Structure 1
């Protein structure tokens, strides 16, 4: 059996030392569209080392390839076809603000496996800590088609009710034609996001944008629009990936702020508001 849930859940965590510098943070910020206009003081907070703050979604790439959610597919008990794998959702929880440079011990493991019948859902958990204690926890929900039906628990089935009423704010963010090429330099070199031939074999007429790039673009829009540009105010951020984005498209980001939380829905303008991110919540102080 390619997926052995008992063995996968019992596997020892993979431990890595990771580090990052301002250059890594700046490259990530450029990869999610920061720096336009280049001299805007609000953008210099993301691009200039003397003013640099860290958008919390950076934790999904901190340490480069070692933060790649797909690394969990190399866990004992998990031998699956990469073509059957889909990144279905992402959650990050910040225990304190991420510094512009630092190092941490990253512990990664499969924390949960759910049986959805036709698919299995693996929750790949990464926990980072430094000498001062925990920094962040990251959960990637990975769907593996064809690996369900093993008699396991289905896991949480409830989804939050959709936001009610009109959004308080709507912003649009253009995705550059070369956005995926720039974003992949932060560590995710999957050819699906760069190679037209590979994308065609996966069923797309051209390369698609990384889901985690849309995730970062969206969080930056929330921080800049509703949190005064203060990245340290974010305490958690979760989403479900509902559809793809093609470089060159425009993201429409609808915002419903509440008490210490913002509900968010994201769609692709050029394809009739096709869903991109849903069940999205940013919690903050």
Structure 2
């Protein structure tokens, strides 16, 4: 069997060096839709090195996205990329992300492997620190079709806990049009899965055409929250979690609906949907915790 859950979970954590600079941050911000309008002071916080603040979701790609790459090649893990989908993601921020780092380290491990019957969910945890202490913790849920049925623990639905969507109208709604080349731009930050660029590969994976990276939608939605609810202050974000409920295609419009302080202070709940396909779900069970 391509996945050996016991071996994967028992494997020693991997520690690798991470480095990035302002060019990596700028490229990531452009990949999640920053820079329109190009001279807007709010956008220049993401696109001009002299004013640069780092969106916390950059944690998912810092150093080239080594957490996911390392997790899918961990001992006991051998899967076909065409069977892989990102099921969920969380980032916990321990302090504001620096614009550059030359001596950060990432320690990652397979925290769990859940048996969903027809699929497996691999849970990856990555902790990043620099000489000044912890920076962030990422937890990723990777859905692998055809790899379940090994008799393991089923785990939470979708790989993570569920959150009921508020029944009241959203406090804020933001539409974010996606460029036709959004996935081609975003993949330059390190996710080279051909599912997001190669039409033949996408069809083999069951899609009509290449889909946008789930983590790109994740970054776009967080930027919408920061820009509209958190007064443009990226440092207020403490944690951000989501479940990837469906796909969005480059060229479509991502609609982000936000509810403030649900169920308590310092918490924003949101959903993201694909407008052109009757608001098909893209992100659900999504929460931003803030200061």
With normalisation by structure 1, the TM-score equals: 0.96
Q: 1:80, CA displacement in angstroms? A: 2.5
3-state SS of paired residue (1:2): coil
1:198 to 193, 201, 217: 201
Q: Which consecutive unaligned segments of at least 5 residues does structure 1 have?
A: none
Matched ranges for 1:1-285 at <5 A: 1-67=1-67, 69-103=68-102, 104-157=104-157, 158-258=161-261, 259-285=265-291
Contact kept, 8 Å, 2:82 with 2:201, in 1: the verdict is no
Q: 1:194, CA displacement in angstroms? A: 1.4
Distance 2:206 2:121 in 1: 22
Contact kept, 8 Å, 2:83 with 2:205, in 1: the verdict is no
Q: 1:200, CA displacement in angstroms? A: 2.2
Q: 1:88, CA displacement in angstroms? A: 0.4
Q: 1:214, CA displacement in angstroms? A: 0.5
Distance 1:199 1:148, change over 3 A: closer
Residue deviations 1:42-61 (CA, integer Å, cap 9, x gap) = 00000111110000000100
3-state SS of paired residue (1:152): coil
Distance 1:217 1:237 in 2: 12
Q: Relative to structure 2, which stretch is displaced further, 130-139 or 202-211?
A: 202-211
Distance 2:100 2:271 in 1: 31
Residue deviations 1:77-129 (CA, integer Å, cap 9, x gap) = 11223222221000110011101111310111101122222222111111101
3-state SS of paired residue (2:255): strand
3-state SS of paired residue (1:74): coil
Q: 1:65, CA displacement in angstroms? A: 4.4
Q: How many residues align?
A: 284
Distance 1:70 1:34 in 2: 25
CA RMSD of aligned residues (A): 1.2
3-state SS of paired residue (2:224): helix
Q: Relative to structure 2, which stretch is displaced further, 187-196 or 169-178?
A: 187-196
With normalisation by structure 2, the TM-score equals: 0.94
Q: Relative to structure 2, which stretch is displaced further, 75-84 or 176-185?
A: 75-84
Distance 1:144 1:195 in 2: 19
Distance 1:85 1:192 in 2: 9
